[in-house]
Chains A and B, each alone.
Chain A
Amino acid sequence: MVSVINSIDTSHEDMIHDAQLDYYGTKLATCSSDRSIKIFDVKGGQQTLVTELRGHDGPVWQLAWAHPMFGNLIASCSYDRKVIIWKETNGSWGKLYEYQNHDSSVNSVNFAPHEFGLLLACGSSDGSISIISSTGDGTWDAKKIPNAHSIGCNAVSWAPPINPGDLLDPSGRHQPIKQLVSGGCDNLVKIWKEEDGQWKEDQKLEGHSDWVRDVAWAPSIGLPKSIIASCSQDLRVIIWTNDGNGWTQKVLNKFNDVIWHISWSITGNILATSGGDNKVKLR
């Protein structure tokens, strides 16, 4: 069965808000209310602290690793309204870029599939979503979706770089469309699409009766449908499915406490949910 292969005592001074393994599963990054981010080398069962990144002035909410083709990059977002992208160069970690264009706590960061380039989406309590992209020569460009969620945006997740509709369409290959899903305090799950360089709202999924805490677009392994999971303060987890005929919702489960994080396995067959009751459930 599922076995513990490593247990890392992070010695953070305060609650941990996120822990993420990198692409290869060899490095673990954790972030905490103590404002720090710690990176551990966990290769082969070891647990060596590689670095402690300090630069946020508030609790750090979430982390995201970039695809290794861009180097060892990690993005963090914090209560201090900042998004920082950290980079490892020659074994030492440092700030690569700091994005400060949000007016409230930034709650979620997520790197786009590498096919789209180095692209980072950030959701903030000021209601907006920022899409930060690297032009490759060290300059960064940011597009903002203002007022994406009226009270605040709590989570963002990118769609896989595959358009399920094209899978069974033999007429050539289409350029995948950049899409992302977001959840917010307006109880909505919204799907955004980039058209001609502009981000537009594509879908608005209504189903939750309280704040949406997290959204996760399931990875595509080639099935001709899109699947999104969302979890909410209303204790429910909803699976949204689109097989080409519009989105349908199905309540996966109603839990006893708030579910604030959901995560798909790489094959998209298991969903891990975790919430206020300090329990993790897989299904």
Chain B
Amino acid sequence: MSLQWSGEQVVAKFPDVQANTMAVDCMGVWVALAGRRAISMVNLKKPKEKPLKSARQSKWDVSCVQWNQVPSHLNLFVTAYNQKLDLHSWKDSNITSLCSMKGHSRTVSDVSWSPSDPNKILSCSVDTFINLWDVNDPRKPVRSFQTVSGAYQVKWNRLSENMFATTHEGELRIWDIREGTSPVQYIAAHLSKIHGLDWNPNSKSELATCSQDCSVKFWDINNPRQCKGSLNPGSPVWRARYTPFGQGIVTVVVPQLRRGDNSLHLWNTARSNPVHQFVGHQDVILEFQWRKQPEGSVDHQLITWSKDQSLRVWKIDSQLQKRCGHDMGEMNDSSENESSQGGRESVSQNSMHENDLETDHGNKDFQRQMSMSPDSVVFQQPQTLEQEFELMNTNIPHIQVEELDAVKRTCSVSAVSRNFNIGLRMQFPENYPCSEPPTFEFLESNLNYDIKRQLHKVMLDTALMHAKRNTSCLEPCLRQLSLALNQPYNFRPEERKTPDPEPARPFNLSWHPTKPPYNSKPSYMAWHSPSGLQDINIPFPRTSGARFSAAGYLVVFGRSHEARKGPSGTEITPKALYDLTDFASKSRNRYPPKLYSIPFHQNYSISPPTPVAENVSISEWYMYRPKVTNQPKGKRKHRPKESTEVKPVLAPVKIYDSSCLLPIQKELGKNYIIDRSNIPAMCSHNAKAASAVGRKDLVQLWSLVALTASEKLKPQNNPDDELPWAQHPFGKEMIKYLFDFYMKIHDVQTLAMLVCVLWDRENAIVPPPKKEKASLLPQSTSMEYVPPNMDNPDFLSSSTDSGWPLTSHLQVHSTRPPPHTSVQSRLPSQHHLSEVSSHPDLANMTVGVLKIRRSNSLSCLEDSFEDYRIEDEEGIKEKESERQAKIHENNCRLLDPSAQNQYDVFLMSYADILFHWGYTNNSKLVLKFMTHLPEPHTGIEFGVQCFHCSQDGRGAKCGSCKNLAFNCSICHIGVKGNSMFCLKCGHGGHTTHILDWFKENSQCPTGCSCRCVEAKSEITM
């Protein structure tokens, strides 16, 4: 058992007490801690003493315990377990069981003593009954109230003796024991389950409910339809209890949630904002109750019992009470000072929880008397330095006590961490600890002056504070030092900041100009000082990922196996960074040596007060672990100190070779050859390469390509000789099928190689940009085989559709009439025929047809028809044959030219991949087959500095002064035409002048002493 104090709390740890509920008696002396194995009694006047235990023989946990509310029967308390209530009496350190009351058929969920009648107890259960018991007649309940749904909470009205309230899921019922068996009021209070209920101590008609729906609501039973007000703490509320002063209410979140929030919140109901947070418990708070204060006491005390097996007493001083709207009348200024000073200490005290657990302090007493609350625990103060040295807990993180010399009154310590190495000597004056602080001297350190000064100030401040109260300060000073070293951002212990937190200061780089400290965690909050809430829209950091590298690797990074999914376990990873900071603020006491950020939205005080500019790191999120319980004490002792520190939870970054998943092969990229001059050889080589990497499909493909491209199948030049192989089902169609297949599997390598082999850009019919020209080749027929000499109505109609004046013209004048005339006569257009018939010159009928048709598209030629015909007669023949050749050529192609852009992209993509692999030469080789080569480099362009205005420009005329920029150095006239100049000195002029000059001279005509003719050889272009 150990005990520690801080400015605002008494902490008593009972590691051997297993209790899940707690009750404070009506005089505020005894605390009953009830668990399955025992009921332990703690005397609040002597909390350091071992609790008095009374073993229980039961397999049931105690679901609730409550003391009698009437002072005359203060030694009575009731425990509820399973379906029974047990009445006990506490006398002379003995628990006597008085009677047992059994009336429920299910587990008793709550009990309530009548505040006025010492004999009356209410109990409720999910069996739908609420029983009223008289302790004098425990055999059966005096009254039973039945509802349709189970009751979870029951509370007597504190002022009205016959009235009580019960909760049923989201509903609230108000009963009067005189009014029969049905409730007097129904209140549909919440949408989800009500966890807690409390009557206002000052008003008999008001009560508060708290619920899973994350709200606390206030009700007036006289007006059940309307909620009087509500608070929104943001998480499901387990209990909400009125403060005995002012208009405050204390809330605690539902313990099962384990959200890391192990603190109580104090609210001012009038302003519905939280005014204080009680931080310190390292696990969920199981129960909290107010301790009755003796008459005349200003302060109130809140007793909390937590799963961390510590009982804490929180002092609510007049300042806090005032914030809850409690009018104190006269305010004592010194109390504020006192508490804020206490607050500083409490920070340091807080950092030693873990260590304290390990060390049994036994009889050690702590330094300070709690002057503020006379009847609270009295601590013994070490009177002499010797005593202090003896009592000191030397287990301070990073600090090693080297020497304690009570005679010389000195103390030497060393602090070593990764970045610091400090030797420090403290000299204690004679009068210490009375009003004289010790002096501090740095013996050795690797810190610069500024930091030393800051550290010194931190310690001196602490020392002075204690000296003012005549208390010893060695340990607090060292703890401050340790804290300051651990937390490089902020040496100054913050003043208590309520309600306006000072914006966090950004990390000061000058502090460690060369190398920022390693253990510094970035402060997420520090960057949004004006509004930490901005983190709400910053996504939660990615802590794992996989990235395909362009070169076929997959980079995977993530968390190590030790890293948990987060404190919430099964939940989905939160979306915003805000969740992290929020979490950090709640779990800050998980890791005492480290302090965490307080979100800025919490503009209320926290006890113990904490520095604002703290750090939060993503690591903590993943390293959050529930507290290890039941660990043997001895084992713990040997645990290294660092075990409480968060270690980085990084898994090594792994690079995977993902190339096997890709349809492309790096080996092939290297080994493939492209040789258009000998395609069969190239194909067989590539087939071998493919078989070497196990791509059987590619072996087949290459042999197929070899066959397709073999000499035998080479198309004839004469279109009439035979059908080109491309038109064969195993020609173009098959290639198209292959392309589709490899496109489907994204094998850009094969696609590009096919393009390299089969695509012949040389005579590709590039559809020119201009429209008339574009119509040279009908687009719609490009994929079709167009027999050059056959009558093909489709072909023709498509060509006429696309407005083909020239082709029509050619057809008319073709020297091979039979097919064309037949085409003409078969022209489907009735319109044309009628026009033909109307034409006067029947001999030129077909020409007339042409003329009319042409007039539709090229009306400008209409008048000069005769000339046109004569002129074009020869040329037309040529063009016709050219066209035939082109169509034939197109038919001979295995690849459709209309997709040439796509071929280019295949080539480009593959070239890029080759480039990634580092095969730059192969990459360039592939790019050679592109239809549209990138714009060639334009080479060097010479700029001219204007002779007149010295502006840089291009071209003959200067852009700024509009004069001819280049002046001939011979005739001194601006050069417009050909010029010649020396690359070295830049002088020159008209070509003729310069040439003449250099026939006889070798030096520059300007006299700049440049030997221009010789200089020419120096410059290689």
Contact = CB atoms under 8 A, between A and B. Distances in A.
A binds B: yes
Interface of A: 1-25, 28, 30, 33-35, 42, 54, 57-59, 61, 79-81, 104-105, 107, 125, 151-152, 154, 162, 166-173, 185, 210-211, 213, 219-224, 233, 235, 257-258, 260-261, 263-270, 272-280, 282
A185 B662 contact: no
A79 B537 contact: no
8 contacts: A2-B658, A4-B656, A7-B653, A18-B547, A79-B577, A151-B537, A222-B902, A266-B550
B656 A33 contact: no
B655 A21 contact: yes
B548 A264 contact: yes
Contact of B653 (A3, A8, A274): A8
A276 B547 contact: no
Interface stretch (B50-58, B148-156, B746-754): B746-754
Contact of A61 (B537, B541, B768, B916): B541
Interface in B772-807: 774, 779, 782
Interface of B: 506-507, 509, 516, 518-519, 521-522, 524, 527-528, 534, 537-559, 563, 565-566, 572-573, 575, 577, 617-619, 622, 648-650, 652-658, 660-664, 743, 745-748, 751, 766-769, 774, 779, 782, 897-906, 909, 913, 915-918, 932
Given A19-B557, A22-B549, A280-B558, 13 more contacts: A7-B654, A8-B652, A10-B650, A18-B542, A34-B518, A42-B655, A57-B522, A80-B527, A221-B906, A222-B903, A233-B575, A272-B546, A277-B565
B712 to A, nearest CB: 30
Contacts of A154: 539
Contacts of A20: 547, 549, 555
A108 B617 CA distance: 20
A1 B617 CA distance: 36
B898 A15 contact: no
Q: Which of A1, A125, A170, A220 has the most CB of B within 10 A?
A: A170
A10 B905 contact: no
A11 B557 CA distance: 13
Nearest to B902: A167
B572 to A, nearest CB: 6
B552 A58 contact: no
Contact of A21 (B543, B553, B905): B553
Contacts of B915: 23
B901 A168 contact: yes
Contacts of B550: 21, 23, 25, 266
A282 B661 contact: yes
Nearest to A52: B515
A11 B551 CA distance: 25
A168 B898 contact: yes
A125 B559 CA distance: 25
Q: Which of B538, B660, B917 has the most CB of A within 10 A?
A: B538
Given A15-B541, A222-B906, A263 B546 contact: yes
Given A5-B656, A57-B507, A278-B544, A14 B767 contact: no
B554 A1 contact: no
B732 to A, nearest CB: 16
Contacts of A25: 549-553, 916
Given A79-B524, A80-B527, A268-B746, A274 B751 contact: no
Q: Which of B542, B617, B658, B743 has the most CB of A within 10 A?
A: B542
B575 A210 contact: yes
B147 to A, nearest CB: 40
B538 A57 contact: no
A220 B538 contact: no
B557 A6 contact: no
Contacts of B555: 19-21, 28
Contact of B539 (A57, A211, A221, A274): A211
B553 A170 contact: no
B898 A274 contact: no
A5 B655 contact: yes
Nearest to B534: A104
A125 B531 CA distance: 14
Given A17-B541, A23-B551, A261-B547, A172 B769 contact: yes
A241 B724 CA distance: 38
Contact of B746 (A19, A169, A221, A280): A221
Contacts of A42: 655
Nearest to A22: B549
Contact of B545 (A166, A219, A274): A274
Contacts of B544: 261, 274-276, 278-280
B751 A3 contact: no
A184 to B, nearest CB: 9
A141 to B, nearest CB: 21
A224 B902 CA distance: 8
